[in-house]
């Protein structure tokens, strides 16, 4: 909690400042309390906790990781309604965590962080807030997540459009789609969920597809009351279920690192498209021309059948321009629309979404300058030259096969070890050694070679030039083992100037 009695240079001070109140920030806050550390604050630019599950409340929003894996192991939920939870239930779980651990007492909501600057002589971070105030902290944890800045494509003439426009992460629930001609741009994880939901309401729905997505069936089974009772009464039963889900997910790494194996799974996915889509030409357009897994694999039972509806048209021609009340594709065809929905995902490259966030470390080095050729860190947590600055789900620690909450928990545990080590060593700051970080990133890029992610397609996992800066390239249990115990030889320590 913020300690207003401890002041340095007349600025409020806290031991740990957490930036972001999504799952990462919540996990960090709970584990700090469990370790007996209560001198921390959560800084959140929005009005509530929840992160992506606060923002993404579009029709059909749901998680593509099983419910019992998409929850914190040290704060579990035993009464999930179904195998794959929908957004409202996940958001409700988050609100329960906030209440159970009294996290609002540690939070400053509606508080945007504009930049952070390391004060080398005092081994402190100065955090500059939108109200022009300054907070100082010994440790800073970036928990803002990699998927929170909407990707808005530039479309010629968009400023002329007189209809309704919104991004899926800022869905306008007050706008009635009934009887409207709607154009939806994008066929990623959000779009394939809301398209089947809004299609019955629209007079006409145009789905503008730049690149087809691999979509596989979704397990929609509900949990029976007996199962919920057993999960609640017997912890071993719930843990056993979670373990089974974990190893089932881990098995998906095999075809990822061996593209030849993935081609067999791809045949089944192709048959799934042909089975669900009646029109052969449409089915062909919906079939990707890249190896499955190169881009994110999506899950849905309703997406493909939506294209059997008479009021849904798949448009694969590029967009030329938008007029006052229509959208025109490069083939010259004009389609009248009342509403335009961006299902275009998020900016993922931290060099871009942090471009207006000024972060300076040792000797005044800027994080954006360090990352100008690509974001790199050590285990996605520490960056050389930036003492006591930690990140959750940093470079090369996002997943395409299992739950990111598993990675977050491993990272939170590792950060707690670093904080404890600084305290025990009677030092003031910890910094990863340059050569340690460089060797780690060389190894990561080497492991990514010959995986499906590097098989030729362009995906959000990559920066311009093709370097994969996002994904962890192998099993998550290997990451857990590597971060389970901190190696002090990987770091050096700093002390305040005397």
The model's pLDDT over 167-220, given as tens digits with 9 standing for 90+, comes to 999 999 999 999 999 999 999 889 999 999 999 999 999 999 999 999 999 999
For residue 444, is pLDDT > 90? yes
pLDDT at 1: 44
Helix, strand, coil percentages for the chain (3-state, nearest 5): 35, 20, 45
pLDDT at 150: 82
pLDDT at 352: 53
Structural contact between residues 390 and 367, judged by C-beta atoms closer than 8 angstroms: no
pLDDT at 8: 47
For residue 4, is pLDDT > 70? no
For residues 430-447, average pLDDT: 95
Percentage of the chain exceeding pLDDT 70: 95
Residue 348: pLDDT band (50, 70, 90) is low
pLDDT at 234: 96
Give the separation between CA 23 and CA 143, rounded to whole angstroms.
Answer: 8
For residue 354, is pLDDT > 90? no
Residue 3: pLDDT band (50, 70, 90) is very low
Give the separation between CA 498 and CA 490, rounded to whole angstroms.
Answer: 26
- Secondary structure class of 215 (helix, strand, coil): strand
Hey, which of 5-14, 32-41, 442-451 has the most confident mean pLDDT? 32-41
Neighbouring-strand partners of residue 334: 328
For residue 126, is pLDDT > 90? yes
Q: pTM here?
A: 0.92
pLDDT at 259: 83
Percentage of the chain exceeding pLDDT 90: 80
Residue 254: pLDDT band (50, 70, 90) is confident
Per the model's pLDDT, the better-predicted residue between 332 and 374 turns out to be 332
Give the separation between CA 310 and CA 312, rounded to whole angstroms.
Answer: 6
Write down the mean pLDDT value for the chain. Answer: 92
Residue 451: pLDDT band (50, 70, 90) is confident
Neighbouring-strand partners of residue 5: none
Residue 6: pLDDT band (50, 70, 90) is very low
What b/e string do you get for 453-477 counting C-beta neighbours within 10 Å, with b at 16 or more? bbeebebbbbbeeebbbbbbbebbe
């Amino acid at each position: 909690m913020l300690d207003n009695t401890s002041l340095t240079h007349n600025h409020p001070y806290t031991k740990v400042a957490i930036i972001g109140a999504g799952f990462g920030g919540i996990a960090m806050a709970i584990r700090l309390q469990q370790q007996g550390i209560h001198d921390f604050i959560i800084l959140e630019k929005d009005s509530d906790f929840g992160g992506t599950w606060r923002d993404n409340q579009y029709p059909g929003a749901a998680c593509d990781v099983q419910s019992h894996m998409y929850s914190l192991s040290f704060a579990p939920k035993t009464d999930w309604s179904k195998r794959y939870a929908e957004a409202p239930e996940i958001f409700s779980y988050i609100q329960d965590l906030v209440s159970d651990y009294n996290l609002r007492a540690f939070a400053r909501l509606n508080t945007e962080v504009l930049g952070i600057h390391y004060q080398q002589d005092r081994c402190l971070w100065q955090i500059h807030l939108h109200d022009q105030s300054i907070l100082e902290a010994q440790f800073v944890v970036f928990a803002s997540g990699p998927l929170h800045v909407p990707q808005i494509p530039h479309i010629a003439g968009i400023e002329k459009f007189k209809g309704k426009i919104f991004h899926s992460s800022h869905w306008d629930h007050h706008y009635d789609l009934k009887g409207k001609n709607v154009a939806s741009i994008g066929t990623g994880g959000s779009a394939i969920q809301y398209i089947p939901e809004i299609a019955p309401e629209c007079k006409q729905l145009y789905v503008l597809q730049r690149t087809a997505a691999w979509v596989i069936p979704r397990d929609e089974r509900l949990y029976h009351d007996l199962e919920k009772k057993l999960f609640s009464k017997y912890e071993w039963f719930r843990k056993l279920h979670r373990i089974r889900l974990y190893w089932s997910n881990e098995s998906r790494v095999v075809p990822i690192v061996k593209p030849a194996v993935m081609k067999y799974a791809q045949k089944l996915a192709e048959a799934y498209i042909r089975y669900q889509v009646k029109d052969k030409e449409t089915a062909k357009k919906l079939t990707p021309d890249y190896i499955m897994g190169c881009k994110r694999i999506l899950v849905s039972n309703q997406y493909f059948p939506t294209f059997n509806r008479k009021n849904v048209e798949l448009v694969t021609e590029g967009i030329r321009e938008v007029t006052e009340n229509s959208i025109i594709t490069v083939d010259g065809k004009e389609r009248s629309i009342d509403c335009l929905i961006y299902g275009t995902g998020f900016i993922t490259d931290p060099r871009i979404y942090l471009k207006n966030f000024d972060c300076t470390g040792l000797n005044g080095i800027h994080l954006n300058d360090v990352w100008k050729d690509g974001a790199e860190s050590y285990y996605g947590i520490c960056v050389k030259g930036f003492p006591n600055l930690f990140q959750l789900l940093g470079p090369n620690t996002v997943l395409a096969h299992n739950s990111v909450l598993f990675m977050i928990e491993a990272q939170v545990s590792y950060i707690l070890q670093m904080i404890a080590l600084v305290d025990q060593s009677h030092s003031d700051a910890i910094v990863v050694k340059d050569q340690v970080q460089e060797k780690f990133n060389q190894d990561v890029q080497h492991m990514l070679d010959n995986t499906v992610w590097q098989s030729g397609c362009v995906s959000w996992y990559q920066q311009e030039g093709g370097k994969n800066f996002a994904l962890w390239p192998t099993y998550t249990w290997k990451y857990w083992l590597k971060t389970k115990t901190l190696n002090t030889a990987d770091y050096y320590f700093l002390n305040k100037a005397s």
